[in-house]
Structure 1
Amino acid sequence: MLIFSFIISETFPNVSIIIPLYNQAHFLTDAVRSIELQSLQNYEILVIDDQSTDNAQQVIKHLQELDNRIINIQLKENQGPFLARAKGIINAKGKYIVFIDADDYLNSITILQHAFELAEETSADIVHFNEKLLEADRESAFNWANPANDSVQEKYFGLTQWMLNGQGTALHGKLFLKNQLLRAIVLIQNQKSDIFQTKLYYSEDTLMMLAFYTLQEKYVPLLEFGYTYTIRPNSLSKSSVAYYDKFVKRVDDSLIVYHIVKKILSVLPEAFQRNIHFQFFKYMKSSMMEIELYHNNDADKKAFMCEKLLNSGVLIDEYVNKLKSEHCADIIQ
């Protein structure tokens, strides 16, 4: 007989918590435990195992024995976090969805209840709460949810915040109306029909969030800390070949994302467009700076990246010329 177990409600859950998982089984129990301690108990947990090669299935099945609100979805092949999260959204039964990374956790036992109640009260399609950042055992607090005022914000607020400061594109630290996330998936698929055959490992949260923000009707900040985002030490030196290969994949994925986002956002008012392209430019500039800083300004790598970014078709001419003059003038005439 189980000493400590949970029984799921027969009604639909208020909230579905989606945890994409790839080779992080050793963190999963802490993430799940932080959910089980919540004051809101009418939820389900969907663990989407993206073909982990560790003991993920063993850990998930053990957790299921203790809590039958945990649903184990194992993908047939490794697809990356975009597809894993989309699979979770499609299978979720809750009215609202919260995303948690396997190595993160909820740090307030009331956050789900307060976010759910606020969404119900205000008819919000997104409630954005505050986060703490944990890096090398040092914790910092970030008021991501604090706009100029803490009242309900209307259409395009999240998108405007991104255009102003590049923030708000992480999926964690938020409670979403599920139906709007489903609409966001359809919107993305309408722009790139093979998106579910595209293995996105980077910038996939930016894609989902910016699609969602174009649909967002009511954005509500919750000035409560509820999520701890953990930065783990990277064993790869930034100057190593392996790190460079990952860096190139990150740039390639980001360019795919920006092409889709550019199409989605093209329907927005003209006043938005320049700020949108400025965010694209900022990312590309940071990519060039990474080559210059961590790869000794390697001429071949720099030429390769200049050609990739300048010919990507993402930037308007103004920013193509700016990127070229600031980082590629010595490479491309």
Structure 2
Amino acid sequence: MESPKVSIIVPVHNAGKYLEKCLTSIISQTLKEIEIILVLDCPTDGSNNIAEGFAAKDKRIVLIYNNENLHTGISRNKGIEAAKGKYIGFFDHDDYCESNMYELLYEKAEEECLDIVRCNFLCVYKVKSECVEEGYKYPDNSTNATDKEWFYENVCSDKISCVIWNHLYKADFLKQNKLYFLDSRTICSEDSIFFINVYDKIEKIGIVPDFLYYHVFHSSNTGKAYAYRSIKNRVSFFEELHKFLKSKGINEDTCNTFLFKNVVRSLYSASRQALLLFPLKKALKEINTLRKNNLIMKQFYFLYKKENLSTLFRLKPTIIIFSLLIRVSTPKKNID
């Protein structure tokens, strides 16, 4: 095969029973000129054997072996560097897609000379013994790539989905703009950081309105693990968002407006998870790190400003109590 039209990058760790369906949906694409890069991230459940079995039967599959568990961020970067396709797509190892997904995205990108094109997607949940599909359609404003501040606000406040696997990216666009993923061992939601940087660079967004990608939620999703979504990693994420906003000339009050509600809800969730997972002393030690971070504490104080009280009282009672405890235990004079 000549240079592939699309390179599809799939970090593979412990995908379990989901991997076979995932890989079958990729190799069955109606667009045949594809390269499938499986980055084997030290799986311990036999996922490597499944990947190697598929590779033995399909020469379009390229295997990359990590020497240590690097997680999704760095694994995706290794895939980007190895990719030979004109376009690049990312795929989670437990998801699947329609057979014509990459053909539709590729044709749209080629017809309109786009650096990026996306489709809508479905979330797949199991409710009791039944699988339920819930479609996600982007708001109309998200088609206007020139309104950068709209993207900044909606990414920072978690109002739009910042997933990356329903997109197709021109490889040269990613590489020339040095658009890579942060290390997901030390920061969570690295895909949101990638998303905001991508959308900051593009001038036009291509849309295929069909629901073509299926994102599967299950109890062993990596994204649910505390090791990934810890208090420390979430704080790193908000620090990275704040740094991005400041680099775009956004003033501090606007930064706080974009961030505060997401910060409070996210860190409540992490703190609750810590209390459920760890002995009380260890959990409180984790939570106490919030009080030592000026950026985070500014958000808790910002929540209680007069103009934000309506937002405060729309939060769940447990989040209100949590935010109050964090606020009153840290005198404002201790915040720079």
Fold conserved between structures, TM > 0.5: yes
User: C-alpha distance in 1, partners of 2:159/2:252?
Assistant: 14
Q: Deviations over 1:144-168 (max 9, x none)?
A: 334258x664363644542465323
Q: Which of residues 182, 191, 194 is equivalent to 1:208?
A: 194
Greater mean alpha carbon deviation, residues 310-319 or residues 215-224: 310-319
Counterpart of 2:146 in structure 1 is 154
Greater mean alpha carbon deviation, residues 38-47 or residues 311-320: 311-320
Aligned-partner SS, 2:219: coil
Matched, 1:257 2:237: yes
**Residue 272 to residue 162, structure 1, CA distance change in 2 (3 Å):** farther
Counterpart of 2:73 in structure 1 is 82
Percent identity, please: 21
Q: Contact 2:163–2:191 at 8 Å: present in 1 too? A: yes
**Residue 55 to residue 294, structure 1, CA distance change in 2 (3 Å):** closer
Aligned-partner SS, 1:270: coil
Q: Deviations over 1:181-205 (max 9, x none)?
A: 33554677xxxxxx66x73473221
**Residue 266 to residue 152, structure 1, CA distance change in 2 (3 Å):** closer
Q: Match of 1:112, as an amino acid?
A: Y
Matched, 1:180 2:157: no
Greater mean alpha carbon deviation, residues 129-138 or residues 260-269: 260-269
Cα offset, 1:280, TM superposition: 5.5
User: C-alpha distance in 1, partners of 2:177/2:284?
Assistant: 36
Matched, 1:17 2:14: no
Cα offset, 1:32, TM superposition: 1.5
Q: Match of 1:101, as an amino acid?
A: D
Q: Match of 1:309, as an amino acid?
A: L
Q: Match of 1:53, as an amino acid?
A: T
Q: Match of 1:133, as an amino acid?
A: C
TM-score, normalised via structure 1 length: 0.78
Cα offset, 1:278, TM superposition: 2.9
Matched, 1:170 2:163: yes
Cα offset, 1:251, TM superposition: 2.4
Alignment coverage as a number of residue pairs: 307
Matched, 1:41 2:39: no
User: C-alpha distance in 2, partners of 1:164/1:287?
Assistant: 13
Q: Which runs of 5+ in 1 are unaligned?
A: 1-8, 189-194
Q: Deviations over 1:229-283 (max 9, x none)?
A: 1011259xx9xxxx7x537x52222222333333233232437972576336413
Counterpart of 2:213 in structure 1 is 227
Matched, 1:130 2:117: no
- What value does the CA root-mean-square deviation take over the aligned residues? 3.4
User: C-alpha distance in 1, partners of 2:122/2:72?
Assistant: 22
Q: Contact 1:202–1:254 at 8 Å: present in 2 too? A: yes
User: C-alpha distance in 2, partners of 1:225/1:267?
Assistant: 35
Q: How does 1:291-330 map to 2 (within 5 A)?
A: 291=271, 295=275, 304-315=285-296, 317=298, 319-322=300-303, 326-329=324-327
Q: Deviations over 1:17-74 (max 9, x none)?
A: 1111111153222111112222211111000011111223322221112110000001
TM-score, normalised via structure 2 length: 0.77
Q: Contact 1:266–1:273 at 8 Å: present in 2 too? A: no
User: C-alpha distance in 2, partners of 1:306/1:22?
Assistant: 29
Counterpart of 1:101 in structure 2 is 92
User: C-alpha distance in 2, partners of 1:269/1:53?
Assistant: 46
Counterpart of 2:109 in structure 1 is 119
Q: Contact 2:234–2:266 at 8 Å: present in 1 too? A: no
Q: Match of 1:223, as an amino acid?
A: P
Aligned-partner SS, 1:52: coil
Greater mean alpha carbon deviation, residues 206-215 or residues 41-50: 206-215
**Residue 118 to residue 310, structure 1, CA distance change in 2 (3 Å):** farther
Cα offset, 1:142, TM superposition: 2.2
Q: Match of 2:201, as an amino acid?
A: L
Q: Match of 1:175, as an amino acid?
A: L
Q: Match of 1:286, as an amino acid?
A: S
Q: Which runs of 5+ in 2 are unaligned?
A: 305-321, 332-336
